[in-house]
Structure formats: C-alpha cells, structure tokens
Amino acid sequence: MSSLLYLSPEQLVGLMFDDVPGLPEKSVVIDGVFDQLIASPQKERIVSTLLIMVESSKT
C-alpha cells in the first residue's frame, strides 16, 4: 500500500473499483487510498481522483 503515492488518480480509482488479486480487502484499499490522498501535499489529487470516481461510477 505504500506505493499508492506513485499512482495516478486513474490508477487509484482502478484499485478501488476493480478486483485486483493479491490486494487486501476492498475496504482496506479504499481506506488506504483516501488516507494517502488526505496526507498528500498535492491537494489537487483529491479533486481529480474524486472527479474520475464520479465519471467511472456513471458507466
């Protein structure tokens, strides 16, 4: 989960939405993504990730 810092917003959303073998439970992944976004000095990552999440949920 420490590599979340290096993933793009699109990749972060993919981790939250897709079933990826070898990852912890979905709730652990989601908590980790949001923990990383909140702690990130790049606050625009939160906005861009949320926008991609909304767009992805429409399909």
| pLDDT tens-digit map of 18-32 | 988 999 999 999 999
Q: What pLDDT is recorded for position 26?
A: 94
Q: What pLDDT is recorded for position 59?
A: 67
The stretch 3-20 carries a mean pLDDT of 92
Question: For residues 19 and 42, what is the distance between their CA atoms, to the nearest angstrom?
Answer: 27
Could you say which DSSP state residue 4 is in?
G
User: The whole model's pTM is what?
Assistant: 0.84
Label residue 3 by pLDDT band (50, 70, 90). Answer: confident
Q: What pLDDT is recorded for position 40?
A: 86
| Residue 37 CB neighbour total at 10 angstroms | 20
